Amino acid sequence: MPTDLPALGRFLDYRVPVSATLVVVALASIFVLPSQSASSFITYLLAIYCFCGVRSWRSLWFDPVFLLVAALLAYIPLTSLWSASWDGGEAASQAVRSILVLAFVVAVAESLQVDWFRERTTLILAVVGGVAGVSAIYVFFAESPQDGRLNGLGQLDTHVAAAFVYAVAALGGTSWVLQRRETLGTGRWGNASVGVAVACVVVLCIAVVLTGSRNAIACLVLGWGCLWIAHRSATGAHFLVCGAVLAVVLLVALVVSIRFVPGAEALILPRGDSFRPGIWSDYAARVLAEGPWFGLGVLTRDPIEVEGFPVLHQHGLFLAVAHQGGLLALGLMLTVVGVVLRILFAHYEEPEAKLGLAIWAMALPGYLLDGHELVDKIGWTWLMFWLPVGIAIGLRARWVLDDARRFGVWFR
């Protein structure tokens, strides 16, 4: 028996770099593996490895921000208890999903101690996403879908999910290019690698446009602009002012174009409002009538019909969270958003914080119109919501985590 403990110690000695590698592989797998379950297998390995070294991140147990995130992740599956359609297997699945997300957040937080984590994550997302984008574009032109919209391949088989995942990858590639030029300059190899990254970003942007998701296109422009502003602004306050001005300008430009430019409405909103007002008012009325404080439960399947068309979910992540867990869940989520933003601004000088702010500049407005599962197996919500949460916790707890003293010396 005594030999088992040293063996476990050797197994966990480089746990943080291994976890960082698994995080990168798991995120990259979203683009290439054919199903969400295939990508989830990697996250199971990540969770097992993370919880084997639970003592190394025990300081997070007393971190109020981490505990707030844990409370949100615990509450969502708890709503299974009062869901209209109770199913023990589905309830257990929701609990497992929360555990996987929690392990991912911890792994990202710890991975910030490894100097290559941000650089490799952003570059690999751009390159793998670019290859997936080329494949999706080829299929789009080869098969000419009837609706004229590009779908992603494999698990990215919906327009909106594909658009936002490709958009995050485009932001990652842009972040890598901007940071590389700031820190390493150029040269023969530098120019070649930057050229590849730029080419991948261009492909990804084309793929986003071809999906036809106006929400993703507008949010990508906002996120891209905020990322550029972040790398040009010396302070978080200046970033906030410039980002707000950019958002207002984009909104005004869209409204003016739709109202006063002939043919612009058909171009910008080819499918009209996609029944969003009717969907939102119906679901909001149900929440207020049946479960305003604690929601209707995460397992409650509540399809509706709007103007004769079936609607399976809320088409808005914030409304979906309120539907699942009521105002309590929505309040927890908004508190997490506020606290994470505060941390990212407090560490504004770090490139990870700038990346997190840019992702959320794109994601949070996008979630007003799309999204319906905050806690799920690995997918677009992990990239758009939980990755910035993990970055923020990692920035806040960088020198508190036990392994930070060993791997922090690698951090630039």
Contact yes or no for 355/76 (Cβ under 8 A): no
pLDDT of the residue at 412:
39
Full-prediction pTM beyond 0.85? Answer: yes
> Considering the chain, what percentage of its residues have pLDDT values greater than 70?
92
Return d(Cα 240, Cα 45) in angstroms, integer: 38
294-338 pLDDT, tens digit per residue, is: 999 999 988 888 877 888 889 999 999 999 999 999 999 999 999
Determine how many CB atoms are found less than 10 A away from the CB of residue 292: 13
Q: How many CA atoms lie within 13 A of 337 on its CB side?
A: 18
- Ranges of H-type helices in 144-235: 159-183, 188-211, 214-230
Of 269, 276, 281, 264, which is closest to residue 368 (Cα–Cα)? 276
- The half-sphere exposure of 120 on its side-chain side, counting CA atoms within 13 A, is 16
Taking residues 158-173, report their average pLDDT: 96
pLDDT at 190: 60
pLDDT, tens digit, for every residue of 222-281? Answer: 999 999 999 999 999 999 999 999 999 999 999 999 888 888 888 888 877 888 999 999
Q: Flag whether 6 is in a domain.
A: no
Distance, CA of 258 to chain centre: 30
Average confidence (pLDDT) over 107-124: 92
What the block records as the tokens of 174 is: 């842009």
Q: Give me the number of domains the chain comprises.
A: 1
Q: Do residues 270 and 149 lie in contact, with contact meaning Cβ atoms separated by under 8 Å? A: no
- CA-based R_g, the chain, Å: 21
CA torsion through residues 121, 126, 131, 135, sign: positive
Q: Is residue 93 part of a domain?
A: yes
Residue 86: count other Cβ atoms within 10 Å of its Cβ.
13
Residue 380 counted as domain residue? yes
Whether the CB-CB separation of 82 and 294 falls below 8 Å is answered with yes
What's the Cα-to-Cα distance from 257 to each of 260, 261, 412, rounded to whole Å?
A: 6, 5, 45
Specify if 192 maps to a domain: yes
**Local confidence band at 10 (pLDDT 50, 70, 90 cut-offs):** low
159-183 and 214-230 helices, crossing angle to 10°: 10
C-alpha distances in Å from residue 135, one per residue of 18, 142, 171, 214, 256: 30, 10, 19, 22, 36
Tens-place pLDDT, residues 349-387: 999 999 999 999 999 999 999 999 999 999 999 999 999
Lowest mean pLDDT among 4-18, 132-146, 251-265: 4-18
Look at residue 179 and tell me whether its pLDDT is greater than 50: yes
Which pLDDT score is estimated for 185? Answer: 54
DSSP 8-state class, residue 54: G
Residue 361 belongs to some domain of the structure = yes
- Note whether residue 386 is domain-resident: yes
Confidence check: pLDDT of 289 > 50: yes
387-409 pLDDT, tens digit each: 999 999 999 988 777 766 566 54
Confidence (pLDDT) at 339: 98
pLDDT band at 6 (very low <50, low <70, confident <90, very high): low
25: pLDDT strictly greater than 70: yes
Q: What is 96-160 written as a DSSP string?
A: HHHHHHHHHHHHHHHHTTSTTHHHHHHHHHHHHHHHHHHHHHHHHHHH--TT-----STT--SHH
Query: Whole-angstrom Cα distance, residue 107 to residue 16?
Result: 8
Segment 198-214 mean pLDDT: 96
Residue 250 lies in a domain: yes
- Written as one letter, the residue type at 400 is V
The DSSP secondary-structure symbol of 384 reads I
Using alpha carbons, select from 104, 107, 13 the residue that is nearest to residue 57.
107
Q: Which domain holds residue 402?
A: 12-410
Instruction: Tell me the HSE value of 121 on the side-chain side, using a 13 A CA sphere.
Output: 28
Identify each DSSP E strand in 271-328 by its residue range.
304-306, 309-311
Give CA–CA dist 123/172, Å, rounded.
7
pLDDT reading at 186 higher than 80: no
> For residue 187, what pLDDT band results from cuts at 50, 70 and 90?
low
Q: What is the C-alpha separation between 404 and 393, in angstroms, rounded?
A: 13
Of 19-23, 33-37, 261-265, 377-381, the least confident: 261-265
Q: Which residues fall within 8 angstroms of residue 111, CB to CB, at 6 or more apart?
A: 16, 19, 20, 23, 117, 390, 394
What is the pLDDT at residue 409? 46
CB-based contact 101:386 (threshold 8 Å): yes
> How far is the C-alpha of 310 from the C-alpha of 249, rounded, in Å?
35
Is 387 contained in some domain? yes
| Mean per-residue pLDDT of the chain | 90
Main-chain phi, psi angles of 115, to 5 degrees = -65, -25
